[in-house]
Amino acid sequence: MAPSGMPHVIITGGSSGIGLTVARLYRARGARVTLIARGAGLLDEALALLGTGETAAEAADVADRAALEAAIVRATERFGPCTILVSSAGIVEPGAFADQPADLFDRQIAVNLTGTANAVRAVLPSMRQAGGGRIMLVSSGAGLIGIHGYAGYCASKYALRGYAGALRSELKASGIAVSICYPPDTQTPQFVRELASRPPEAQVIMGTVKPVEAESVARGIVGAIDTGRFETFFTPTLWALARLGPLAAPLINAVFDRQIAVLGKRNRRS
């Protein structure tokens, strides 16, 4: 086992995108890093990008509680107790709720919400044994506002906000700090895949905002973990949605409804 003074960072969804970028930042600090993701091939590529050092990977689906727990047990046996968990694994399947197969909706809940809970549950024993730790849950800007064609994704990411708040209160006395962040659209491989199936009604609303770089989001995540900040929003707009969204919801919905109605008229004419 590695020396206890070196932090052990476990990152779900660590084979690409935000998770992999966070891993690179922690490796630059000399931390031990375990990446967890479903695809063994992508994990191998991620390890090659991170270079030599105390970095390892475990292939597991976060929605499979038994498989994830086994992966985290192996990780803690290799590098010691989990010091920091970054729960970044997530999927998005855009599509109108009434038209989308039920299994796609269920899968988003299973990965984005239940998968996060599975990861937290799996690291808690080692964190408690070590007398503390830090947990970062990666939600989304879609966890602050309902978006046309994103019912399953919004539901799963909204739920993380309540989960994080309850978890923060429950674990504070144990010396375990809980944080949550709400990234906007971010340049990642998943974002590219998402755009291919994003409904035009959603694109009218979301397409006017330039995606941010994964590096910027990753640095915000690491900074929030360093300081123990509970919530991170990345942009003034997302901060305003979080703080003022319920008051502004009627106006926001009216604007979105009008934009979608205009798009519908254009489509009927064409």
Per-residue pLDDT tens digits for 31-55: 999 999 999 999 999 999 998 789 9
3-state SS class at 144: coil
pLDDT of residue 147 exceeding 50: yes
In a domain, 2, yes or no: no
Range of weakest confidence among 9-23, 115-129, 207-221: 207-221
pLDDT of residue 2 exceeding 60: no
Find the catalytic residue in 26, 150, 153, 158.
Answer: 153
pLDDT tens track for 158-177:
999 999 999 999 999 999 99
Find the catalytic residue in 139, 140, 156, 179.
Answer: 139
Closest CA to 132 of 1, 28, 8: 8
Residue 85 DSSP code:
E
In a domain, 264, yes or no: yes
Residue 31 DSSP code:
-
- Half-sphere CA count of 37, side-chain side, radius 13 A: 26
Q: What's the longest Cα–Cα distance across the chain?
A: 68
In a domain, 171, yes or no: yes
In this prediction, residue 72 carries a pLDDT of 97
Q: How far apart are CA 67 and CA 58, in angstroms?
A: 10
For all residues of the chain together, what is the average pLDDT? 90
In a domain, 185, yes or no: yes
pLDDT of residue 255 exceeding 80: no
Range(s) of the domain holding residue 184: 8-269
Find the catalytic residue in 16, 156, 157, 158.
Answer: 157
Say how many domains are in the chain.
Answer: 1
Look up 157 and say whether it is catalytic. yes
Look up 265 and say whether it is catalytic. no
In this prediction, residue 264 carries a pLDDT of 66
Q: What is the CATH number of the domain that holds 122?
A: 3.40.50.720
Angle made by CA atoms 99, 103, 105, in degrees to the nearest 5: 65
In a domain, 221, yes or no: yes
Reported pTM:
0.90
3-state SS class at 148: coil
3-state SS class at 258: helix
In a domain, 25, yes or no: yes
Look up 139 and say whether it is catalytic. yes
Average pLDDT score over residue span 19-25: 97
31 phi-psi bin (left φ>0, alpha ψ -120 to 50, beta other): beta
In a domain, 3, yes or no: no
In a domain, 99, yes or no: yes
